[in-house]
Chain A
Amino acid sequence: MVESWVVATLARGLAFAVPLLFAALGELVAERAGVINLGVEGMMILGALSAFVVADLSGNPWLGVLAAAGVGAAAAFFHAFFSITLRANQYVSGLALTMVGLGLSGLLGKPFAGRPLAHPLPKWDVPLLKEIPWIGPGVFSGQSALLYLGFLLAFLLWVFLYRTRGGIHLRSVGENPAAADALGVNVYLVRYLAVLFGGAMAGVAGAYLSVAYRPSWTEGMTAGLGWIALAIVIFAAWDPLRAVVTSFLFGAFYHLAYRFQAHLAPEFLKMTPYLFTILFLVLSALGKSVRLGAPEALGRPYVRGER
């Protein structure tokens, strides 16, 4: 009894977490470089559509995922150009990107609505690991390959951010771009790359929805997941490994809201992660032990020679 609850919560929490994780990891990198992108929802839905179209026409879902990454990055380029080169307001530019993405995907996606996808992404059983009691069937069986790629990506990003020169450069650009510039880091280049990476990952998140999670295209199918990903970045305190945990928590709460529906109004479970975030912030501010702040220069365009 307990086992089946644990297995189901693990399995569903993780399956739901995949798009959140990819989108959050991408956004996290962009924000670490000091650029906030509220266009996640828009990039994600463009990714979902392009993945479905390419997978449908080519018969290869992995090509769809690649195409989604490309399209996501291309969409992010607009945000990068406006917010980095033109130094425009990042919040407005991101919102505009979301509007354009949702509208454009709806227009272009019309011919693809209501069609099943013949070859969705396969599910993987991890040999040996799947035999572990409780954890095996929950984590290592019947999940999409993208889940494990998401784990890997989170780990690699963590290593990159905290253990490599490139990571130090990225973080310094987000914390104090003037100082980074003085040290010879190309602030604009780093920010561009970070934003494009964010777009590509949002695209992959969308691809997961349309070629793995529910293989078909329907207008507006991201249904707000992009906004949740933005919240996860904050909840995870801009840390890739914490992003894994928080994405899973959001997924698990989502699943449990349906399991407990008979006993508890689902709105309260859905509210919980947001209340937790605030509580966590307050507690850490009281304790002064954990630093849970945003990158210092987040949202501010960098202008050479200006402080």
Chain B
Amino acid sequence: MKLVPRPAPKAFEVVWVSTLAVLLAFLSSLLLLWLYGTPPLEAARAIAGGVFSDPRGLAEVLRRAVPLILVGAGLALAFRAQFWNIGAEGQLLLGAVAAGGVALFSGIEGPGLLFVMALAAFLAGGLWALFSAFLKARLGVNDVITTLMLNYVAIYLVDWLIHGPWKGKSAFGFAYTDRFPEAASLPLLPGTALAWPGVVLALLLAVLFAWLLFATKLGFEVRVLGENPEAARYAGVRALFTLSWVALLSGGAAGLAGFVEVAGTHHKLLAPLQISLGYGYTGIIVAWLGRNHPLVAVLTGLLVGFVFAAGDVAKVALATPFQLVQVVNGLILFFLIAAEVFLRYRVVWGVRRG
């Protein structure tokens, strides 16, 4: 077997190969459930029934997808500029911290509070990322490392806040802040647990990033910088300037995801692993599956959101152990990356020559 690189695939090829991969992944998941004792048809019916049959189930997909889209769209922008931001998890947490700080201590009342929380979350996440971008542009410090290390710093920072200075008086000694005031809650879509402004925010941001990337000078600079840093310098691209914007926007988007999680679901700060269910890391997968295109990241975010929600349904409706759900999620990923191979390479069977 030999893989021969091929020119960029056409859009329709991308669509049908990806769809096929997704279908195969789902079919093999059903097969795995079958091995575990659940007949595939029954499993498919139960999962479809749980996810699609009522608004609450469907809203779950969106609730899981919103932080993934926010993080994924931002990372798409960052990866285009070859800013290897692995730190979305930390940026998300910083966003949650900033939003929580405003909600708990600013004393602002009324609808303005949510707005200030969102702004603070955006800035906190953005500045957390900006630090790494600055080090990369100015000193050439490896951005993968600094963004990754800052995730741990953010985790311990949240831990310290909820155990220490921000521990709530009404938390009964547990490690939570107090509950945010009512004005700090995002409105829910009636009959669901979905904070609908999060959906609007995610879509707006994805469109904004796509527009920035493909219709503005900044976007042009981002793409040149990402595709050919040497040429970028000759073309007069200001690396520090461009990277700073990219970091601010991608970190800011992750920060907004943190804002949506605390203002829409938790209404308090809690253990970092509870605030974000790994959305910062899964967002990397969303961006990558979305071929670093903010709008495609919306689709892949929805896809991963569906996978998560379907797993949740299987756990209750089919009594699938959560470990099996984990295995299935991993297998789906393997399928998706394998599909990518067929888009980028032509497979030639036979004896390898030369």
Question: Which residues of chain A are near B148, meaning CB under 8 Å?
Answer: 231, 234
Question: Which residues of chain A are near B141, meaning CB under 8 Å?
Answer: 278, 281-282, 285
Which one of B5, B142, B149, B334 contacts A96 once the chains associate, using CB atoms below 8 Å? B334
Residues from 92 to 115 in A contacting B, C-beta threshold 8 Å: 92-93, 95-100, 102-107
- Inter-chain CA distance A82–B337, complex, in Å, is 8
Q: Which among A92, A93, A275, A277 has the highest number of chain B CB atoms within 10 Å?
A: A92
- Inter-chain CA distance A301–B336, complex, in Å, is 17
Q: Is A293 an interface residue (CB 8 A)?
A: yes
Question: Which residues of chain B are near A267, meaning CB under 8 Å?
Answer: 156-157, 159-160, 163
Which one of B323, B329, B341 contacts A88 once the chains associate, using CB atoms below 8 Å? B341
Q: Is A274 an interface residue (CB 8 A)?
A: yes
Q: Is B315 an interface residue (CB 8 A)?
A: no
Query: Is there an interface contact between B153 and A271, defined as CB atoms closer than 8 Å?
Result: yes
- Inter-chain CA distance A105–B145, complex, in Å, is 29
Decide: A93 near B337, CB < 8 A? Known: A107-B323, A231-B148, A281-B142.
Answer: yes
Q: Is A270 an interface residue (CB 8 A)?
A: yes
Query: Is there an interface contact between B285 and A265, defined as CB atoms closer than 8 Å?
Result: no
Contact sample, A vs B, 21 pairs, CB 8 Å cutoff: A86-B341, A96-B337, A100-B327, A103-B324, A103-B328, A105-B323, A107-B327, A234-B148, A265-B164, A267-B163, A271-B153, A274-B152, A278-B135, A278-B141, A278-B150, A281-B141, A285-B135, A292-B142, A294-B142, A303-B3, A305-B5
- Inter-chain CA distance A107–B340, complex, in Å, is 30
Question: Which residues of chain B are near A62, meaning CB under 8 Å?
Answer: none
Q: Closest approach, in angstroms, between the C-beta of A181 and any C-beta of chain B? A: 12
Which one of B3, B140, B156, B157 contacts A87 once the chains associate, using CB atoms below 8 Å? B3
Decide: A88 near B327, CB < 8 A? Known: A265-B164, A303-B5.
Answer: no
Query: Is there an interface contact between A82 and B338, defined as CB atoms closer than 8 Å?
Result: yes
Q: Closest approach, in angstroms, between the C-beta of B215 and any C-beta of chain A? A: 28
Q: Closest approach, in angstroms, between the C-beta of A91 and any C-beta of chain B? A: 6
- Inter-chain CA distance A87–B347, complex, in Å, is 12
Q: Is A89 an interface residue (CB 8 A)?
A: yes
Q: Closest approach, in angstroms, between the C-beta of B303 and any C-beta of chain A? A: 14
Q: Is B345 an interface residue (CB 8 A)?
A: yes
Question: Whose C-beta in chain B lies nearest to the C-beta of A78?
Answer: B334
Interface size class of A (residues with CB under 8 A): 35 or more
Decide: A92 near B146, CB < 8 A? Known: A87-B3, A270-B156, A306-B5.
Answer: no
Q: Is B139 an interface residue (CB 8 A)?
A: yes
Query: Is there an interface contact between A231 and B149, defined as CB atoms closer than 8 Å?
Result: yes
Q: Closest approach, in angstroms, between the C-beta of B201 and any C-beta of chain A? A: 26
Please give the residue numbers on chain B whose beta carbons come within 8 Å of chain A beta carbons, in ascending order: 3, 5, 135, 139-142, 144-146, 148-150, 152-153, 156-157, 159-160, 163-164, 281, 284-285, 288, 321-331, 333-334, 336-338, 340-341, 344-345
Decide: A102 near B323, CB < 8 A? Known: A278-B149, A282-B141.
Answer: yes
Query: Is there an interface contact between A271 and B330, defined as CB atoms closer than 8 Å?
Result: no
- Other than the given A103-B325, A103-B330, A282-B139, 10 more pairs (CB < 8 A) read A92-B333, A267-B156, A268-B156, A271-B152, A275-B153, A277-B145, A285-B139, A285-B140, A294-B144, A303-B3
Decide: A107 near B324, CB < 8 A? Known: A95-B281, A271-B153.
Answer: yes
Decide: A268 near B149, CB < 8 A? Known: A91-B288, A104-B323.
Answer: no
Query: Is there an interface contact between B323 and A106, defined as CB atoms closer than 8 Å?
Result: yes
- Inter-chain CA distance A175–B164, complex, in Å, is 46
Question: Whose C-beta in chain A lies nearest to the C-beta of B352?
Answer: A304
Decide: A87 near B327, CB < 8 A? Known: A92-B285, A285-B140.
Answer: no
Question: Would you give the 0/1 interface string for A6-33, flagging 1 where the beta carbon is closer than 8 Å to chain B?
Answer: 0000000000000000000000000000
Question: Which residues of chain A are near B284, meaning CB under 8 Å?
Answer: 91-92, 95
- Inter-chain CA distance A38–B182, complex, in Å, is 41
Closest 4 CB pairs of A and B: A103-B326, A99-B330, A106-B323, A100-B330
Q: Is A128 an interface residue (CB 8 A)?
A: no
Question: Which residues of chain B are near A305, meaning CB under 8 Å?
Answer: 5
Question: Whose C-beta in chain A lies nearest to the C-beta of B321?
Answer: A107
Question: Would you give the 0/1 interface string for A270-307, flagging 1 where the beta carbon is closer than 8 Å to chain B?
Answer: 11001101100110011000001110000000010110
Which one of A89, A219, A275, A277 contacts B340 once the chains associate, using CB atoms below 8 Å? A89
- Inter-chain CA distance A292–B322, complex, in Å, is 40
- Inter-chain CA distance A94–B72, complex, in Å, is 18
